[in-house]
Structure 1
Amino acid sequence: MPDKDTDRTYFTKHHFRTGLECPTRLYYNAREYPENREALPSIAHYRYNKKQLTALARCQFPKGLQIDSGSIERDFEETRKKLKKGNTVLFDPVFIHNRLLANIPILEKKGDKVNVYHIQTKTFRRQKSDLSNSAGEIYSKWRKYAIDFAFQIYVISRCYPGWEIRSFFLLPAKYALAKMDKLHEVIGKIQSGESSIRRSGIKKEEIIEPVEVTDEIGKILNDRDSLDSVIAKGRTFEEQLIEMAGYFFREEKYPVTIGNKCKNCEFRIERERVQKGESSGFVECWNESLDINLDNSFKPLVFNLIGPGTKHWVERGIYLQEQVPDGEFYTLDTISNVQGKFNEKQRQSLQIMQAKGNRGPEELVKPNLYRELNRWEFPIHFLDFEAGNYVIPIRKGRRPYHLLVFQYSCHSLTEEGHWNHYQWIDGADGTYPNYELVRSLKKIPDIEQGTIVQYSNFERNALRGIRKELLAEADQVKDAGELTEWILQIINRHDSSNPTGPYLSDLSRLVKNYYYNAEMEDSLSIKDVLQSIMSVSPQLKEIYSRPYNSENYNAAIWWQADPEGAAKSPYRLMLEDREDEGIRRGTEAMVVYAQMLSEDLTVEEKQSLHKALLRYCELDTLAMVMIYQHWHYLMEENWN
């Protein structure tokens, strides 16, 4: 549905798929209930890739006409006029039937024979398999995309019943290689009207795979029980569509059923927003179905327990962590006395005990945490990369979604407790970021010495991928030999679980296996772990109640109390009273870097995004420093 029109008087493919998953959500859609914001960065990243792929696909149709008159109704009329003129190719034509709306990326008409192209960003590998089995049934991983497409075809066929329609997915080919350098820049110029499609030579690109799905779409449209939905009951596609649209337009709530499907409901908004008075569809559903009041308590739910294995409780009607029967989780004594590492069942048990009112010890630390920290050699380099995977490669010879590492931050800590901060960010100036990153890393003082620390194994894997690139282009990159040799000595380091150094250690593994505190909730992300540790650490409170200064921060006070007396998240504090655009997570950083690459920004806009990226990445490595500092204090007190 076009972004230009916010009028929700139409029923779209998005609404239909929502109804298949949970028809009750149509009520909240129709009444425009607020939605969870956690998914917004991922949606923005998807939209960027979809926009890029669509622009590339349209280069195969140089005579295509854009439908863009400013509103859905005018676009619908413009589509009808263009179709009456005979053979044509249309971009973004609009079709409306009984308030059902279809918006098509590309439509090709030759008489009554029409090809409809539906663009998706999921990669496809024809050599491995097609989209459907021998019976013409779409494989499950492609099914939701096929249902979206079937909705579009249904609407078009009702508008023009005499058409002979063939349906095609246009997908990024998984192992195709870009033939042009800076393909994203060429696409950007085409999108802005600055470059001729014919002149660009872009038609020779082969990273888009056309896949005909006419028969598969027909099967979905025509077979009973072709859809797995709450209201299917042997009904046809059309019958289900009509019923769902009816609920939506009447703003009538389908009878509520709760379960594991509610975990990722978009109307499950953040606790703070509910407490400020915003309406939560999730809360309404659960309060209607259960004798609880989530408005006030926000009692922990079982599907918020860390790790898998919670579905069996939901299926038994056990929805709150406090309802889990005794005997179905470990006791505190059992967990405390077990050596080795925490497993997911133990972590779940600690969460359940808290939900039942037994807070337990402030912290639990397995001895192996101290054992590994004691192996680390100074200087300790806390390293974090920011990277993006974009459907259109920026360098020749790369596949769709090739990893692009555009930034790093490094806090280097000496044995005396002094630190230095080093950083690098791609200037979007035409150089290849992956290689420039390594050249810059090599300049960090003593980076080959001591211990390198990452949060997850991402940095090791990213360097491994860059080394493969350099080996493949050794004849084109003058210092390829030097760079590959340097990378090899870094990625061949052991993690600190191995008794032999030097180390490239994974801090997230140490958190997961050996550390727990009573402020931890349902996440082991660095942001949530940091906030929990700051809330229990008097040492961090003392250090970070004082001003922190760096290239990117001026007198930042990282320890500030929330209304309950715990520590506020530094990631939230970073966004308060800022002049630049804020970034809270890695997906947002990907979107911001894509803006810098592809959008026509002013110098001021680019500087603002540049500053936001630097601030965010620095906080990630500072967070690792803070976690280490707290653990180091514990080790001095408890480790002999």
Structure 2
Amino acid sequence: MSEKAPIIINDDLFLNTVSCPLKFIHITNDSLNRDTSKLYFRQRNKLHIRDAISLRFENCRHTSNSTKKAFGETTELLKEETVAITGAVIQQDKVLTRIPILVKNDKKLIIIQVHGKLRKQSEGDEIQPGIKKRSIVRYLLKAAYRLDVLKRQFPDYDVDVHLYFPNKHFKSSIDHLHLFDQASFFTRKKIKRELLELFTKVRATKAVEQIRQQIPIEQSHQYFHNESVSSAIEKIKLMIHQPHEFRGIDRHKSCKYCDFRLSRNESTEGCWRQFFSSEDINHTEKHVFELIGHGNSAESENGTFYQEEAEFSRGFDSLEKMLHQNIATIPILNRRNLQILKARDLAVPSLWIKQSMKSINDLKYPLHFLDFEAATYAIPMKKESRPYTPVYFQFSCHTLHQSGKMIHTEWLDLQDKTIHPHREFVCQLGRIPDIFEGTIMQYSPFEKQGVNRLIADFKREQKKYKKELEILEKIRTSRTDKYEHRFFDVSRIIRDYYFNEYLKDSLGLKQVLQSILKWEQSSEFSDFFDSQVNDVLFGEKGEEKGSKTFDPYKNVKDSDFSISDGSDAMNAWLSYKNGLMTDEEKSAVPEVLKKYCTLDSYALFIIFKHIKRFTGLLDSEDYILLNRNNR
């Protein structure tokens, strides 16, 4: 049996443990099964930004990805009189930090941290002590930990802290700035000048030193209130030997944002089930944080953490009272009350569709269930672009004809790194069968906004982009006079006119899809999961096929990575475009990206398919199917 690796306090473990000591147990247990050898796409893109900033420093040296190797390399590099070390690793006893860039000049050290938050020129070049902005305070706490570790190792050195942010007012004067590390020598000076303007240096030493002396209450659990960073580190050291001996730790409002609160798979229990006795609660998995709408923070601050203990809004403490309202929509407050009713095992509808849902019967075919994927990045890819200008790199469209025929069209930018995707993106959009006819179905206004944004962008050079503008204008405008639904937002009708018993805290596409799949699985309608639906959602080897969880996005994966949301997709494509992928990844990643985007557009069709068959039952009243347990 292999010996258990010693627990080392690092940046991540320190910050998480200070926010809640129970995270220490979860993180250290997880670390035994975590593969630390892989550098995932989001991390690669962050390091890419770090490397862009490192170009401003003389004698800049890069360390290995491996923390162990980087520690040895850092030790050797710090023997030089002047050096800038990217990925510097400092370790003292059981305490370790990895610093994005560490600059040494004789007996002076500078911690360089890189952050993605845009900064205005009016915010100044120094962060003052006492700042209360939550995101900035978290950056400062991370720096305070790093400063403390450095001071332990180098007590006689002066240490400053500089934070770097993208400049909100920057506009690139060259194309392909994101390929700064692959540019020719001829353009090196210009690229360096661009990057100097792109990233703003902000001095933060005094503010960091203040936080080092006393960790802000807003960033810490009461277990660490009034502690210095150094004393907090010593407390965490004791946890290594006595990990379960915590006192005074209870549920708190910050649990809402914790990844460990709920079980993440069938083999593990969530934090609350492990550590908090709930004998009087029948539904310990239903927390107030999953109640939709506002009021969750007030509930938790008052010591209410379970849905069955939450208060009803406006006195609507029964289904009958809500039905008696007889209003055109299902308000958020009513949705919240329905969740509380269900948590108390009281009557709720299994399905509730308002009369106004009949509007989907007036949509003109073909219906184009369209999904765009866009990337935003701190380093602009195109001349005249600012940081985080959206770049549309992929789409999937399922076109449904009135006959029932379905055609799937997709496109993913896999062009050379130096080719900006928008021209080809628009050209491929124009090739979707019958795209200029019928209705474009979207979830949120994102696709319509994307078309408008592209039109505005191309109009800056109308002669050059005449063909693209013609395509976009034809997509934007219906050929049928006075047809108001050229772009139809499915999220709006779900928000106003639809409820099922499995809906939780969000009306987002993925959450609504999962609730509908769960509803259909337990319904009397056995024809919903035909072979096409099963194949597209779950595939032939879909692990979730026929399961109760029904999350098709769990199957969008390769052996080494998964793509479960737009952020994952964005970072995968950015890594491809930034030249940060291996040849093996270049072969595997596109197929996973295509499957993800296909699921998004097909999810729209599934939602439509589900609600469409009930609209024929709507007349002068809502369609209400009572919960099976309350018939």
Q: TM-score range by the shorter chain?
A: 0.7 to 0.9
Distance 1:231 1:198, change over 3 A: farther
Q: What corresponds to 1:617 in structure 2? A: 597
How far did residue 147 of structure 1 move?
Answer: 0.8
**3-state SS, counterpart of residue 210 of structure 1:** strand
Residue type at the aligned position of 2:203 = E
Q: Does 1:367 align with 2:361?
A: no
The whole-number CA distance in structure 1 between the counterparts of 2:450 and 2:501 is 34
Q: What corresponds to 1:568 in structure 2? A: 550
Distance 1:149 1:453, change over 3 A: same
Maintained 8 Å contact 2:395/2:411: yes
Distance 1:138 1:359, change over 3 A: closer
The whole-number CA distance in structure 2 between the counterparts of 1:173 and 1:591 is 21
Q: What corresponds to 2:404 in structure 1? A: 417
Q: What's the RMSD between the two structures over aligned residues?
A: 3.8
The whole-number CA distance in structure 2 between the counterparts of 1:516 and 1:586 is 25
Q: What corresponds to 2:261 in structure 1? A: 268
The whole-number CA distance in structure 2 between the counterparts of 1:613 and 1:144 is 33
Distance 1:220 1:416, change over 3 A: same
Q: Does 1:26 align with 2:24?
A: yes
The whole-number CA distance in structure 2 between the counterparts of 1:154 and 1:634 is 63
Q: Does 1:285 align with 2:275?
A: yes
How far did residue 398 of structure 1 move?
Answer: 1.7
Q: Does 1:242 align with 2:237?
A: no
Q: What corresponds to 1:394 in structure 2? A: 381
How far did residue 483 of structure 1 move?
Answer: 5.0
Q: Does 1:147 align with 2:141?
A: yes
**3-state SS, counterpart of residue 231 of structure 1:** helix
**3-state SS, counterpart of residue 114 of structure 1:** strand
How far did residue 269 of structure 1 move?
Answer: 4.7
Equivalences for 1:488-567 in 2 at 5 Å?
489=477, 501-537=484-520, 541-547=526-532, 561-562=546-547
Q: Does 1:53 align with 2:40?
A: no
The whole-number CA distance in structure 1 between the counterparts of 2:64 and 2:494 is 52
The whole-number CA distance in structure 2 between the counterparts of 1:470 and 1:236 is 54
Q: What corresponds to 1:320 in structure 2? A: 306
Aligned length: 606
Q: What corresponds to 1:442 in structure 2? A: 430
How far did residue 433 of structure 1 move?
Answer: 1.6
The whole-number CA distance in structure 2 between the counterparts of 1:431 and 1:93 is 34
List structure 1 runs of 4+ shifted beyond 6 angstroms: 33-37, 195-198, 224-227, 549-559, 578-581
Equivalences for 1:167-178 in 2 at 5 Å?
167-178=161-172
The whole-number CA distance in structure 2 between the counterparts of 1:201 and 1:356 is 65
Q: Which moved more, 1:113-122 or 1:447-456?
A: 113-122
Maintained 8 Å contact 2:448/2:476: no
Residue type at the aligned position of 1:21 = S
The whole-number CA distance in structure 2 between the counterparts of 1:559 and 1:145 is 39
How far did residue 601 of structure 1 move?
Answer: 5.1
Q: What corresponds to 2:202 in structure 1? A: 211
Q: Which moved more, 1:48-57 or 1:410-419?
A: 410-419
How far did residue 34 of structure 1 move?
Answer: 8.5
The whole-number CA distance in structure 2 between the counterparts of 1:102 and 1:558 is 39
How far did residue 560 of structure 1 move?
Answer: 5.1
The whole-number CA distance in structure 2 between the counterparts of 1:507 and 1:529 is 11
How far did residue 347 of structure 1 move?
Answer: 0.6
The whole-number CA distance in structure 2 between the counterparts of 1:611 and 1:348 is 39
Maintained 8 Å contact 1:581/1:612: no
Distance 1:450 1:592, change over 3 A: same
Maintained 8 Å contact 1:388/1:405: yes
Q: What corresponds to 1:306 in structure 2? A: 292
The whole-number CA distance in structure 1 between the counterparts of 2:312 and 2:232 is 43
How far did residue 145 of structure 1 move?
Answer: 0.4
Maintained 8 Å contact 1:330/1:346: no
Deviations 1:510-543 (A, max 9, x none): 1111101123333323233223334445697415
Maintained 8 Å contact 2:51/2:86: no
The whole-number CA distance in structure 1 between the counterparts of 2:190 and 2:245 is 53
The whole-number CA distance in structure 1 between the counterparts of 2:201 and 2:517 is 52
How far did residue 169 of structure 1 move?
Answer: 0.7
The whole-number CA distance in structure 2 between the counterparts of 1:239 and 1:421 is 59
The partner residue of 1:114 within 109, 114, 121 is 109
The partner residue of 1:403 within 390, 401, 405 is 390
Q: What corresponds to 1:3 in structure 2? A: none
How far did residue 173 of structure 1 move?
Answer: 1.6
Maintained 8 Å contact 1:36/1:269: no
Maintained 8 Å contact 1:62/1:197: no
Q: What corresponds to 1:594 in structure 2? A: 574
Distance 1:17 1:557, change over 3 A: closer
Maintained 8 Å contact 1:547/1:556: no
The whole-number CA distance in structure 2 between the counterparts of 1:22 and 1:558 is 34
How far did residue 412 of structure 1 move?
Answer: 1.8
Equivalences for 1:154-173 in 2 at 5 Å?
154-173=148-167
The whole-number CA distance in structure 1 between the counterparts of 2:493 and 2:442 is 11
**3-state SS, counterpart of residue 394 of structure 2:** strand
Q: What corresponds to 1:347 in structure 2? A: 335
Deviations 1:455-498 (A, max 9, x none): 111112222222232123446545455356446537x999xxxx
Distance 1:36 1:418, change over 3 A: farther
The whole-number CA distance in structure 2 between the counterparts of 1:224 and 1:456 is 40
Deviations 1:51-97 (A, max 9, x none): 1111111122252122339553x644543443333222222222223
Maintained 8 Å contact 1:474/1:480: no
Residue type at the aligned position of 2:200 = E
Distance 1:47 1:329, change over 3 A: farther
Maintained 8 Å contact 1:30/1:249: no
**3-state SS, counterpart of residue 374 of structure 1:** helix
Maintained 8 Å contact 2:368/2:400: yes
The partner residue of 1:12 within 10, 13, 18 is 10
Taking only the aligned residue pairs, the percentage that are identical comes to 25
Distance 1:26 1:557, change over 3 A: closer
**3-state SS, counterpart of residue 15 of structure 1:** helix
The whole-number CA distance in structure 2 between the counterparts of 1:523 and 1:225 is 31
Deviations 1:148-201 (A, max 9, x none): 0111112212322222222211222223123432233343x48xxxx7798575
Q: Which runs of 5+ in 2 are unaligned?
A: 621-631
Distance 1:639 1:52, change over 3 A: farther
Maintained 8 Å contact 1:8/1:30: no
Q: Which moved more, 1:340-349 or 1:421-430?
A: 421-430
Residue type at the aligned position of 2:246 = Y
The whole-number CA distance in structure 1 between the counterparts of 2:354 and 2:536 is 37
Maintained 8 Å contact 1:306/1:344: yes
The partner residue of 1:100 within 95, 104, 116 is 95
Maintained 8 Å contact 1:219/1:226: no
Maintained 8 Å contact 2:108/2:159: yes
Deviations 1:248-303 (A, max 9, x none): 454344322112211222223535x2x43x3543422223xx33689xx6531121
Residue type at the aligned position of 1:380 = L
Distance 1:80 1:456, change over 3 A: same
Residue type at the aligned position of 1:409 = S
Q: TM-score, normalised by structure 1?
A: 0.83
Q: TM-score, normalised by structure 2?
A: 0.84
The whole-number CA distance in structure 1 between the counterparts of 2:385 and 2:275 is 47
Q: Which moved more, 1:391-400 or 1:232-241?
A: 232-241
Maintained 8 Å contact 1:384/1:409: yes
**3-state SS, counterpart of residue 412 of structure 1:** strand
Residue type at the aligned position of 2:404 = G
Deviations 1:545-591 (A, max 9, x none): 2346999998899995336xxx834445x559x89975332222223
The whole-number CA distance in structure 2 between the counterparts of 1:503 and 1:539 is 34
The whole-number CA distance in structure 2 between the counterparts of 1:141 and 1:601 is 31
The whole-number CA distance in structure 1 between the counterparts of 2:438 and 2:534 is 25
**3-state SS, counterpart of residue 542 of structure 1:** coil
The whole-number CA distance in structure 2 between the counterparts of 1:267 and 1:528 is 19
